[in-house]
Amino acid sequence: MRPYVYSALLSAGLCVSAFAQPVEPRSFPAQKLTRPPVIDGVVNPDEWADAYLVERFWSPSRQQWGAFPTRAYIGYDSEAIYVAFICDDPDPSQIRAQETKRGGYLENDDTVLVLLEPQARGLEPYSFTVNARGAQADEFPDGAAENIRWRGDWQAAAQMTPSGWSAEVRIPFRILRYPPRQTRFGVILERFIPRLNELYTFPNMGAYYSDRRQSLWTGLELPPPRYPVILLPYFTGDSDPERTRGRSGIDVRYIAGDPLTAVLTLKPDFRNIAADVARVDFSYTEKVLAETRPFFQEGSDFQPGSAVFYSLRVQDLNTGLRAFGTLGDWRYGATVGEYEQNGRLRQFGVGRVRYQFAERSFLHLMGARLQGDVEEDTLGAILDARRITGDGELRLRAEYYQLSGDREGAYQEYTLYSNAPERRPNYLLEYTDIEPGYRPRLGYVPETGYRGWRFGALWFDRPDSERLLYTETRLQAIRRTLYGGDRLDEGISVSQQWLFASQNRLTLIADYLNRPPNIDRTLGVEYAWNVLDLYRSGALTLRFGEQNGGRSLYALLTQAYELAPRFRLRLELESLDIDYPSDPTDRARQLIFTLNYEIDPERAIGGRLVLNRLEFGGETETTRNFYLTYLQRVRRGFDLYIIYGLPNASRTQNRLAVKIITPLEL
């Protein structure tokens, strides 16, 4: 998501105001093309003569037509959907388009986006993004692995023009999941201009941006949905001074349309996947890291939330099977597998069912079961209901989970949101009650045995100013009490952020937290520069005060460089000191160098150096690790990974590993 436009439009699910313009058009006709256009980025009117023409785009934040003229064409044939954009710009030299590789970071570039929702119900759309250089990125509603042929291939191209830029997109029906005999799709088209922090949309979305306000593309004559069985076999070779070994495995995906997708994995190899590197910043609880393993990425939107199932708890997976799909108002997902934990086998199963009982209102039922050297069951339910009011939206979310087995306990949480457009306050009120025994081995629950509430407020604005693009104020207060009656913590946090037209950002933060026996008082400042420049951006964060019973000073410096064309470096330097009156000082230092040389958009050489020294409670841990990678992720042929070293090791390893992935379609 684009960091500031979407923060303004979507933060807390903002709603339509009483003075909003009507959403238009609510529908438009599907027009079949007599011949497919050539996808080269040059929008030839003759090629698009049969397509539906969108003559102008709407600015949701400004509530007026976009200042930069934008036009689009959309049509289809028996194989694919075709979309073209013509983006005029009064100063084409200011158009930003740095990213070149597929799936890269396009948030700071001039882009166009196609949102397609085959169910035509305003839920879980596919998104296809193209920047002014033709680089592509996509998001699928159910989650998907990164291999292009496994995920689904689509084509795009872009061209700079004397008056701006243009783009063309081809999206095959075979990569979309839609019901048989479907005759309409939900459609949203967008243009993003980063230097203005401005988003334009078709249709007119009103003041409240929501996928459900899409326009209906009607009268489609779609081919019957057909999906091949895809095999993803792979081989890994691993050599170090002690031995050479090989391993093979396979992932299999079967799609029966919208009702069912099944994924099977046998002997997956995850050693070559570099996971997140945790920050050294102080926290009273475990830090949450991102999932990078393909089997858990596929269909991740259909699995229970982290309070029931946090997939990183499953480390050495041997086999796994996942199935998910949609049937009318019902949506379901289930995963079973076997993994090793401390040399012992465990079997697990997790599942989730969702029923839509009203517009944007859902009932979820979910559960998890763990067997082996331990046994436990977790069952839960979520009620998520929303109601549009005259000047915003009210949303109620109620969650309840029950854990049984050798650990027993309950988790319940109730959240009320009151959301409003810019220049109006947004509120959140939340009550949580977690019993001491609610500690599921497959879930992420950082603290238990407390009751408490949290209050939040957000106010933001896009001032009509030549110097200031965006401003945001946040307030959060908490108070939590342990089951025995003692205080767990109470506190307040206030932050203020400004985004300037110079593309620099300033954030000020003040925190107070009473967490017996400590009272934390910290002030923080972050200054970021060149925030739109992917290869020159940087930021400095400083936070100081009292923390964990000592005097604390935290610093984080990040800086990106382009040392030569396509040769990039990113530096991350962190430092933390907590000086206690009597105990040894806690110190943490971490330095991360990340190198990348882009041979072409499908091939790259990379490397990472991680150096850290952590001194906590009188104990010292160090990391001195360096590894090199070659990555080939291609449209045709095989994906290839070559790694010298071992990601996430504490020391550099004299190890060479090769991984080859060759998708096959049946």
Residue 56 in tokens: 């102008």
Residue appearing with tokens 């539906």: 52
pLDDT at 345: 92
Amino acid sitting at position 622:
T
pLDDT at 298: 76
Sheet arrangement for strand 52-54: 52-54, 70-76, 80-88, 164-172, 155-161
Using an 8 Å Cβ cutoff, are 80 and 36 in contact?
A: yes
pLDDT at 281: 60
Using an 8 Å Cβ cutoff, are 156 and 39 in contact?
A: yes
Q: Which residues on neighbouring strands pair with residue 396, listed in sequence order?
A: 385, 416
Low-confidence ranges of the chain (pLDDT < 50): 1-22, 270-276
For CA atoms 143, 148, 150, 151, the dihedral sign is positive
Q: Express each pLDDT in 606-615 by its tens digit.
A: 999 999 999 9
Residue from 13, 254, 300 nearest 141 by CA: 300
Q: Phi, psi (5° rounding) for residue 634?
A: -120, 160
Q: What are the b/e assignments for 376-400, b being 16+ CB within 10 Å?
A: bbbebebebebeeeebbbebebebe
Torsion angle (degrees, nearest 10) of CA 235, 238, 244, 247: -30
Q: Is the peptide bond before 517 cis (omega within 30 degrees of 0)?
A: yes
3-state secondary structure at position 174: helix
Residues contacting residue 600 through CB under 8 Å, at least 6 positions apart: none
Residue from 382, 393, 378 nearest 355 by CA: 382
The number of angstroms, rounded, from the C-alpha of 243 to the middle of its chain's C-alpha atoms is 39
pLDDT at 285: 63
pLDDT at 132: 96
Residue from 284, 275, 278, 276 nearest 614 by CA: 278
pLDDT at 487: 95
Q: Phi, psi (5° rounding) for residue 308?
A: -110, -45
pLDDT at 300: 80
- The answer to whether the predicted template modeling score (pTM) of the entire model surpasses 0.95 is no
Residue from 206, 133, 201 nearest 165 by CA: 133
Q: Which parts of 294-425 are beta strand (E)?
A: 316-327, 330-341, 344-358, 361-372, 376-389, 392-405, 409-419
Residue appearing with tokens 């401005």: 198
Residue appearing with tokens 């005029």: 88
3-state secondary structure at position 41: coil
Looking at the chain, the number of H-run helices and the number of E-run strands are 3, 39
Distance CA 640, CA 609 (A): 22
**Domains observed in the chain:** 5-218 (2.60.40.1190)
